[in-house]
Each structure stands twice: as C-alpha cells, then as structure tokens.
A and B are shown apart, each in its own frame.
Chain A
C-alpha cells in the first residue's frame, strides 16, 4: 500500500538527520567541561552545527506545516473527539498485552488511517506543540535581544532556555520511542523500509 509520498519521505529524511544533529550538538553544549573535556562534539563546533541545523529544521518544519495544509496529509493529524480516550486505551492494551497474544492490531493501517491513536496523539503533540515551542525558544536563544528580559521576576533567557532544553528532552525521548515502535512492523525492518520506498507492508502492529 503506497502511503508515504515522495515529499513526506524527503521531509522525514531531512527531519531525522537534523533532529539527530540537534540532539547530539545540544547535549554537547549542555555538558561541555571547562577543562575542554568534550562529551560528543566540542562546544564551538556544537554551537555552529546546532545553529545551522536549527535554521534548516525551521524551514523543514514549515514545509511539513504548509504541506499538511495544502495536501491531504493533514487529515492523519486530526484527532476526533469520539471514543479517542477509549481508542488510546485499546491501542495501549495491544502494545502491552495483545501483540504478545498474537491478537490483530485494533487499528490496522489503511489509506484512511495511517496512524493508530497512540501514534496520532504523539505525532500531534511533537509536531504541533513540541517542535513549534522548541523552534520559537531556539530563535529566542539565537537572538537574545528579541527575548523578554524578565518575566514574573525571572530572567526571560533562563525561562526560554528551560523551555528549550525541556522540549529538546521530550523530542529525544520521542525519537527513542519512535525508532523502537518502528520495529513493531511485519518484520522489524519493514516500517523503516516503507519510509524509504513509500510502500507500507501490512500486518504491522
């Protein structure tokens, strides 16, 4: 089943590379030692790469955002209110127990429903809350002169920084879970292959 058009695959590939660069360089900046000890990448390089990757990611995000408005891909991110909580519970139970009893997935992948309820919620949260917050707070750190200097008596930069690193942390956690859940296809590699070829192999979890 052809589910992932070329623009989605290219966007996703670029997004994945950039997010990995941003996580690696972000952690490097956060944990550089004064003696010059380097966790992953040296501070100077990390700043440069982080800034470049962040600017590209901002444009890449705009492609996703606009793409979801002007194509039909946006429909996969619309959460219906009806039974959504119950559906989340069903999908969670499937991941926790059902799949070990070889039960069929409660929300099989189709052209109408690319994502199961848990996927949908996590993708909406990450793409429409997490990434906008991380991009805006990142811009606030990149251009500190435009960031509020104080808010409720607290440094605006500190708040912006805490928001940025907290969101960065959630994106990192999301990435780990996302990569792991992508091994839950028909075969551990089939969902990864689908994101390269565009064709989804059914019988996924």
Chain B
C-alpha cells in the first residue's frame, strides 16, 4: 500500500457516489398495488368502468343490431387502478354522479349535472377538521386560480376526485410526495393544450422561466412548486393561496436560513410525525429534509463553539506566558 491516502479517496468515492439522476419534467408516479383493496361497490362500479375504465369500449347498438367498438374521450376515462388507490376508493360512482347514469345510452341532459366541490362534502365535518377545509377554501378564494372560475376552474382541476390521493400525510418518501404534488401543477403548466382551457396566455416554458434559479434540477426535485408560489399558512399542510407570479419567492434566504419557511410547510408535518414516532433527536436527524443554511444541528453548534473557545483560550494562555517569560 504505497499511497494509502489515494486508496482511501478512491474507496470513499465509491461509498458516496451513486447514480440517482432523474429529470424534472412531468414524471410517472406509479400508484401502489391495489390488489389488497376490494371495494364494496366493485361490481356496481364495474358497470361504469366497462366503458369508462379504458380507451376502447364496446356496446350493443340496438338500432344497428350489432356490437359497436368505440374510443372513449380521454377526459371521461377513469383508471380503475388509480381510482381504487384514491381517497374516494370506497365510493360508488353514483354517490357523486346521477343514478340515472346506470341506464345506457346516457341521457344528454346528464352532461349538465352539477359537480360537487371539495367543500360540499368536507366542509363543516368534524371528521375532516384536521384538514381545515374551510381555511383551504378561504385561501383558494384568494388565489389566482379562483379568478379562473369563470373559465371553468374548480377544485377538480388539481384534485381529480377519481384519482387524487393525499400524499404528504401517507407517503414515507418525501421525494415521491414532491413529485406527486408537482405533477399536479405540471398537468396544466407543462401541457399547453390543457393550459389553454383556462387561459389565453402564450405558452410558458417552465425551465426557461426558472433559469434564474441556481441548481434548478435540484430545486425541482427537492421542493414543491407551491413552496414558492403560495403564501405559507401554518394551519394547513398544503397552502392554497397561489400567488401572482411576481409575488413568488425569489430570495434564497427565505428557505436557506435557520427559520426556513420550509419548516412551516413541506417539512413541518414530517418532522412532527418523526419526532412523535422516533424521539426528538431521530426526528431531527433521521429525515430527508436537507436545506443548506436551515439544517443547523444545535448540538454540533454548541460543541463547535466550546471547542473553538477552548482553542482560543489555550492560545491566549500561551501568549500570556510568552509575554511574561520574555
């Protein structure tokens, strides 16, 4: 072993380096296996899924007297797997949709049925009090999205009731939560045809718009869009007051500081949960949240100040003896 330092360096580089690169575009978040969940309405729902569960469907055309194969309009397709993983998996389709849908062909007037908003079911219900739906509604009404209601914007644009699943409270993996939540924004903000349903603005290139952001790919992977584009509210986990773009956070120290705003949003729930489950120290150390400037370890701080103070003290004592023994 002629050059132990070189060998150490080489070994250490293998220890620390692992290829784990992912892009920052809309990515697929595969829902977990659904085989363990059996809906009490599975059979009943299957009557709908038979046609609406996939792109191609078949029906008996009585007039023609034969089976007709047809393609389902993309907006009317509900993926079974995603539905039975969603928050509303225990629902029957006709809990929310008119029971008249059970007849086929569906009556034309059914297309005009009113859709429920989140607050219609979740508002004023103690069971959901921890989610603070009322605060969410108030925030939503202050957001730039609310102004688009005339264009047809609703809660559903971001939270498709057929597929939406709460993530931050359930997921063990923070990166997956971030990806899932950011994909909600990118559904429209990186798909101009969807975006144009709500706005006549020119197409926006998210990557170019964020050119100013240092370490763009890292930021996109590590924080949710809403971290910078909403007004942080300590009482809800996901802030809904989407701000006009000019009011978005642009100062590094909003997050990269000891009292980082991320601790009041993205990391708050996880940190509290981990502290509850694994004790305070584990909650602080054993988490995925890492932000330069924010992850100061108080114990290391104290130890470093004491050690540094001791070194300076010894030096002063040494200087003192040098002076008096001169």
Contact = CB atoms under 8 A, between A and B. Distances in A.
A59 interface: no
B16 A169 contact: no
Interface residues of A, number: 49
B218 A145 contact: yes
A147 B16 contact: yes
Contacts of B252: 32, 43-44, 47
A146 B300 contact: no
Contacts of B5: 65, 128-129, 132
Interface residues of B, number: 54
Nearest to A176: B311
B261 A34 contact: yes
A29 interface: yes
Interface in B211-253: 214-215, 217-218, 221-222, 251-253
B6 to A, nearest CB: 8
Given A31-B258, A43-B252, A43-B293, A173 B311 contact: yes
Contact of B12 (A47, A132, A145, A156): A132
B259 interface: yes
Interface in B1-20: 3, 5-6, 8-9, 12-13, 15-20
Contacts of B175: 149
A33 B254 CA distance: 8
A29 B292 contact: yes
A47 B217 contact: no
A132 B9 contact: yes
Nearest to A133: B12
Interface string B291-311: 011011100100010011001
B21 interface: yes
B260 A136 contact: no
B37 interface: no
Among B16, B222, B307, residue most surrounded by chain A Cβ atoms (within 10 Å): B16
Contacts of B322: 99-100
Interface string A131-172: 011001100110011111110011111101110011001001
A90 B315 CA distance: 19
A34 B312 contact: no
B257 interface: yes
Contacts of B297: 162
Given A140-B16, A158-B285, A161-B295, A33 B257 contact: yes
Interface in A112-131: 128-129
B319 to A, nearest CB: 8
Contacts of A173: 307-308, 311
Contacts of A149: 18, 20, 175, 288
A189 interface: no
Contacts of B318: 95, 180
B16 A32 contact: no
21 contacts: A29-B256, A29-B292, A31-B258, A31-B293, A33-B259, A34-B258, A34-B259, A43-B256, A43-B257, A145-B22, A145-B218, A146-B16, A146-B17, A148-B20, A154-B286, A155-B290, A158-B285, A161-B295, A165-B300, A173-B307, A177-B315
A-B residue pairs, 4 tightest by C-beta: A34-B257, A157-B290, A128-B5, A100-B325
Given A34-B261, A166-B300, 7 more contacts: A33-B258, A34-B257, A137-B16, A141-B292, A148-B15, A153-B286, A154-B286
